[in-house]
Amino acid sequence: MSQALALKYRPTRFEDLIGQDPISQTLSLALDSGRLSHAYLFSGLRGSGKTSSARIFSKALNCAQGPSSTPCDVCENCLAAKEGRHMDIIEMDAASSRKIDDIRDLIEQTKYHPAMGRFKIFIIDEVHMLTKEAFNALLKTLEEPPPYVKFILATTDPLKLPATILSRTQHFRFKKIAHRDVIAHIQKILHLENVPFEPEALEMIARSGGGSLRDTLTLLDQSIIFCKGNLTPALVAQMLGLVDPELLERLFDAIFSHDEPTLSELLKELELHETEMVLEEIAIFLKEKLSQNHPQYPLGMLDRFFRIIADSQTLLSLGSHNAFVLTLTILKMKEALKIKEIDGMIEELEQELFSKNPAKPLAPSPLAPPLPVVSNPPSGSIATPNKEALFEHLKAKIYDRNYDLGECFEKNIRFVDFSEGILSWSSRAEGECKERLKDAYSVIKHFVKEVYGIEASIKQVTLPPPEAHDEEPAPPPLPSLEDSPPEESLEPEGSGCVASMLEESSAPCEDSKEKLTEAILESPLVSAAKELLEVKKIIVRSKV
């Protein structure tokens, strides 16, 4: 009859212990140097090697060639210890023998010398299950046992032990066995058993073992039976109730390709499993892609996927519907693909702004009206077509943000120059439009940095008044502040439009003079001058 793998390949020497090198090294050195304690405490996860280490240590203490870290395995003491029939190695299960009477019997046995070996060794497993009275009864003997008595206590929960017990023992903490060590060990066993396997199947078995070697070997035994001697990922996943990695590959292929029918079909398959387990399997799958540095799974995308999984696990902890959470997770992952990568966005922006072919200007927004042509730019300015095109692009962005703001910006802001990272413009905004531009300055500044670069700054300049043209009469000269009366006045000259209107009337009467005066004051040019200079009152005088 075949033996269970966990029993068949149980460690019999310190070198056989898996993943507990610091502990095996310390116990070996203690045996070889003779620095032995009277009581030891082994604590750690189930299946981490506590009881096996206690048995190996007991055999090494009673070996005829010892105490030695390498027992001979041929003497009577070693053979008896290996077969579990040594009279001086007494194992006690504290889960079933936990009362004070059981401890009294144990204390009574310590009074007698060993019958076969060098020491009488008591191995108490699951010692945290003892009652308070039993612990108190054990204290004195544990602190000062006879020189031929050794105690080895084992527990999975050292926090339940009284401090008085902990202070009387050497405490060895057995750590969780590393994943790679578990896989290497079960690979070795499968080679010895002549069982074919696929590495992905062993990954799933080791992961399900949770760091416990005994649990892993039990699952391995079960997998060999279920898979009929050939371990494949699909069969192992079916036996363990896990998600087949091939199914997850198809799932993410469907997400990347936006294949809705395939995605719906795979979602129905995933709903047959526990949603919490599916999320864990997806996280493990993505972690493997991250470790492989897979080009289809960039870091930014994996970060978004892991955040989505964490949010879904939170929803499950709140008692949300499993199928809904799973569907929501997959759909959120699909939507996450629409977010552009930062590097890609920066590259597109650089290509758009600093293209080597400036002959192709950026198209303005369809909402933006055409910019009025500046006939006479100020001297010293450099207004190349590319710079003006960028300014048009700036206006388009402002129009896209707010049409009224864009209209106000275009009517009142004139491009002057852009050089050395400084955007110069002039403004003639007033009233409500001026306040609107002032309130939206932070938004406009943000768009300026988008269009002209993050280091760009804004400078407002004052332009000289435009020169007079033949087709457009110049405004009348304004009186200086020194010659003006307390109420500011605007006196027309002979070449002005106001004087022309006065000359056209010959010998006017008082009524015609008043009407002419009203017409002059209501003319657009005078109104513009009044508003620009904030004139409170205008007095019109006839030419002498």
CATH code where residue 198 lies = 1.10.8.60
**CB neighbour list of residue 391: distance below 8 Å, 6 or more residues apart:** 371, 415, 418
The verdict on 160 and 51 lying in the same domain is: yes
For the purposes of burial, counting CB atoms within 10 Å of the CB of 54, is it exposed (0-12), middle (13-18) or buried (19 or more)? buried
Tokens representing 403 are 């049409």
Q: What is the pLDDT of residue 463?
A: 67
The three-state secondary structure class of 339 is: coil
Rg (the chain; Cα; Å):
46
For 336, the enclosing helix (H) or strand (E) is helix 322-336
Give domain status of residue 526, yes or no.
Answer: no
Report the distance separating Cα 383 and Cα 484, nearest Å: 40
Tell me which of 198, 223, 240 is where a domain ends. 240
The verdict on 233 and 249 lying in the same domain is: no
Q: Are 457 and 419 in contact (CB under 8 A)?
A: no
The verdict on 124 and 149 lying in the same domain is: yes
- The confidence band for 24, taking pLDDT boundaries of 50, 70 and 90, is very high
Burial 202-226 (b: 16+ CB within 10 A, else e): bbbbbbbbebbbbbbbbbbbebbee
Q: What is the pLDDT of residue 317?
A: 87
pLDDT digits 0-9 by tens, 121-159: 999 999 999 999 999 999 999 999 999 999 999 999 999
Give domain status of residue 497, yes or no.
Answer: no
The verdict on 156 and 218 lying in the same domain is: no
Residue 415 carries which side chain, given as an amino acid letter?
A: F
The verdict on 214 and 272 lying in the same domain is: no
Give domain status of residue 412, yes or no.
Answer: yes
pLDDT at 464 over 80: no
pLDDT digits 0-9 by tens, 416-446: 888 888 888 888 888 888 888 888 888 888 8
For the chain, what percent of residues have pLDDT higher than 90?
30
pLDDT digits 0-9 by tens, 365-408: 444 444 444 444 443 344 444 777 888 888 888 888 888 888 88
345-352 long-range Cβ contacts below 8 angstroms, 24+ apart: 349/450
**Within a 10 A sphere around the Cβ of 429, how many other Cβ atoms?**
16
Q: Are 26 and 57 in contact (CB under 8 A)?
A: no
Q: What is the pLDDT of residue 117?
A: 87
Q: What is the pLDDT of residue 511?
A: 59
CATH number, position 455: 3.30.300.180
The verdict on 137 and 220 lying in the same domain is: no
pLDDT digits 0-9 by tens, 489-527: 334 444 444 444 434 444 444 555 666 667 777 777 677
The verdict on 53 and 116 lying in the same domain is: yes
Report the distance separating Cα 27 and Cα 230, nearest Å: 39
pLDDT digits 0-9 by tens, 319-328: 888 889 999 9
CATH number, position 28: 3.40.50.300
Provide the CA 264 distance to its chain's centre, in angstroms: 28
CA angle 187, 192, 193 (to 5 degrees): 95
Tell me which of 138, 158, 173 is where a domain ends. 173
Q: What is the pLDDT of residue 467?
A: 52
Domain that holds residue 255: 245-339
Question: In whole angstroms, how far apart are CA 514 and each of 499, 517, 519, 541?
Answer: 15, 5, 9, 11
The verdict on 157 and 204 lying in the same domain is: no
How many domains are there within the chain? 4
Q: Are 517 and 505 in contact (CB under 8 A)?
A: no
Tokens representing 479 are 């009186």
525-528 long-range Cβ contacts below 8 angstroms, 24+ apart: 525/473, 525/475, 525/497, 526/476, 526/490, 526/498, 528/475
For 43, the enclosing helix (H) or strand (E) is strand 39-44
Q: What is the pLDDT of residue 341?
A: 60
Give domain status of residue 404, yes or no.
Answer: yes
Give domain status of residue 381, yes or no.
Answer: no
The verdict on 146 and 187 lying in the same domain is: no
- What mean pLDDT is predicted for residues 101-108? 92
Q: Are 154 and 127 in contact (CB under 8 A)?
A: yes
| Of residues 273 and 532, more confidently modeled | 273
- What mean pLDDT is predicted for residues 148-171? 93
Q: What is the pLDDT of residue 134?
A: 92
The verdict on 230 and 256 lying in the same domain is: no
Q: What is the pLDDT of residue 527?
A: 72
Tell me which of 339, 374, 407 is where a domain ends. 339
Give domain status of residue 465, yes or no.
Answer: no
pLDDT at 488 over 60: no
Give domain status of residue 325, yes or no.
Answer: yes
Alpha helices in 376-509 (DSSP H): 385-401, 403-412, 431-439, 441-452, 497-503
Lowest model confidence (mean pLDDT) among 229-238, 288-297, 371-380 = 371-380
Give domain status of residue 504, yes or no.
Answer: no
Report the distance separating Cα 7 and Cα 61, nearest Å: 23
pLDDT digits 0-9 by tens, 26-59: 999 999 998 999 999 999 998 899 999 999 999 9
The verdict on 268 and 223 lying in the same domain is: no
User: What's the mean pLDDT when you consider all of the chain?
Assistant: 80
The verdict on 236 and 249 lying in the same domain is: no
CA dihedral 135→137→138→142, nearest 10 degrees, is 130
Q: What is the pLDDT of residue 1?
A: 59
The three-state secondary structure class of 354 is: coil
